[in-house]
Amino acid sequence: MKLINNLLIQIIPFLPKSFIKLFASPYIAGITDDEMLSTEKNLNTKGYDTAIDILGEHVKQKKKQERLQKNMQIYMMKFLLDLYKQIYQLN
């Protein structure tokens, strides 16, 4: 399996994006923020819970990547604090 994974990693950069999108599209909500939010809203109205992950693969510069990671850490801390407050208020 490791051999197949390594082979795929080497081949994927040379495949057309349209081919990759064909297989990746069920797992990706959108390329732009607007596409992603539209997909999330559509899934929410159908009763699905969603989670949005911004992984940062699109960032080419190290400083931008570090800033994105720092912003995500701050967002997660705020999210957890808000969640703890809600849990505390329920109890």
- Summarised one tens digit per residue, pLDDT across range 46-86 is 988 887 776 666 666 767 767 767 777 777 777 778 877 77
Please indicate, yes or no, whether residues 39 and 15 belong to a single structural domain of this protein.
yes
Please indicate, yes or no, whether residues 41 and 61 belong to a single structural domain of this protein.
no
Please indicate, yes or no, whether residues 1 and 39 belong to a single structural domain of this protein.
yes
Please indicate, yes or no, whether residues 58 and 74 belong to a single structural domain of this protein.
yes
Please indicate, yes or no, whether residues 76 and 37 belong to a single structural domain of this protein.
no
Please indicate, yes or no, whether residues 73 and 38 belong to a single structural domain of this protein.
no
- The number of domains in the chain is 2
10-33 pLDDT, tens digit per residue, is 888 888 878 877 777 777 777 777
HEC-encoded secondary structure of 12-79? HHHCCHHHHHHHHHHHCCCCCHHHHHHHHHHHHHCCCCCCCCCCCCCCCCHHHHHHHHHHHHHHHHHH
Domain coverage including residue 15: 1-52
